[in-house]
Each structure stands twice: as C-alpha cells, then as structure tokens.
Amino acid sequence: MSETSLIGRRALVTGAAGGIGAAIARSLREAGAEVAIADIDLAAAEATAAAIGAHALRMDVRHRAEVEAGFARAVEQMGGCDILIGNAGVSTMAHALDITDEEWDFNLDVNARGIFLTNQIAARHFVAEGQGCIVNTASVGGKGGAPFLAHYCASKFAVIGWTQSLALELASKGIRVNAVCPGYTRTSMQSRELIWEAELRAITPEEMMAQYATLAPLGRNGSPEDVAGVVTFLCSDQARFMTGQSLNVDGGLVMH
C-alpha cells in the first residue's frame, strides 16, 4: 500500500460544500478515505457529497453545540473519525479604520473560533482513541499583513498560533496538527475579494485580476486542487514526522 494511501481512514472536512474544502474532500476520497462533508449550507454539502461518494451534515462552526452534534453525527456516519480538516472560513474587506464590530466578529468567529471549537472537540476524540490528524486552513494572510484585510489577517494569524500550540500539546499523544496557507486561489471567495479590492483601489476588476496573476513567482493563481494535494499529503504517512507546520501553497508568494 502506498504511503499516500488513506484507505481505512475517516475524515471530517468543514466548509467543504465548495471551493478548497470540496477539493480537499475529493482528494481525500481519491486517496481512499471515507469522508464527511460539513457545511453551513446543507443542500450544497449534500450535492457535493453525492458527487464524490461522501456523507454530508450541517455545521455552523461558530457554535459549540452544533460542532459537537455535527462531529458526533460524522462519527456515527463513518463509524469513527481519524482526520479533521478545519477548513471553514470567511472574508470581508474594508479599510482598517472602517472595519465594523460586526465585520471583526464575523471573521474572528468563523476563522478563529471555528478552528478552536472544531479542533478541540475532534482532538478530545482523537486523544481518547489514541490516534488522529488535524489540518487547518490558514492563509498567507496569517504570515503577513495585507491592506483591507486586517481583521481577516488577525483571524488567520490566530489559526497559525493555535495550530503550533495544539501541536506541541498533542505530540506526545501521537496526534499531528498542521496547517496549509493558500495564496491567491481561484474560488468564489477570491471572486468576491477581487471585486471588493478593485473598488477599494478604484480600478477595474479586470485590472485587479491581472495584478493578482503577476504576484506569485510561478506566474498564476492557485487552484483548489493545488491546496488539496498538500492537505492529503499532510494527512498521509509520508508526513508522519511533520507537526506544527504551516505550509505555504502560494506559488512562491511568501517564502517563509
């Protein structure tokens, strides 16, 4: 059996109805894992799950009771859980001096609190079972600040700090915790951000897209599949000696 095989493994992926999360779920399935897709949009989760042969459930990662119930449902559906992919995330854009309390809370609640809740609840299960693997979706925005994304960057810095700290605490229990940090990636979130940033910079969306495409040394924006491949690697035995890492998947945009 290949070391990248995930046959016999069971994974819960949050925010997986579309975009990077759906690509991760598909990649894990292709590697042989049984997968449960969790999303706040149950209908979309069910459609994605049907397309790849996965389970589906509703989960709002901002609320502990929903996360606990959703995780228990995933364990019931799959007969257990060995892998958590903390992927659910949101973004909004504004000048730092114009960010509202509501925008701040929205970004921090989903991106940081959601990782805290899903990781903690899954990790308690993994510790009891004596095995498990967690991969969180952070961002290159968690490695350095960006205009109009101060609140989003704050939430993703939090994800990286949490990932490192949790990895230190769980290493002795044989549980690995890592993160991926996507750069500019072709998703519906990026499409929204492109329009927002173009407006904030007073240029056209086409001009903004051209700027995005030239930022990465590899000369293109990433695809959800680019990120998914790295996540699947981190879940596999090939990454068995890696924990506490936050891997950039950004075409060379950030080199640390």
**Which residues are part of the catalytic machinery?**
152, 156
Residue 61, token pair as written in the block: 């990662």
Q: What is the DSSP letter of 213?
A: H
- Of 112, 120, 55, the closest CA to residue 88 belongs to 112
H or E stretch including 208? helix 205-215
d(CA 256, CA 252): 9
Q: 21 exposed, middle or buried (CB, 10 Å; 0-12, 13-18, 19+)? A: buried
The answer for residues whose C-beta is within 8 angstroms of residue 236's C-beta and 6 or more apart is 3, 4, 5, 6, 31
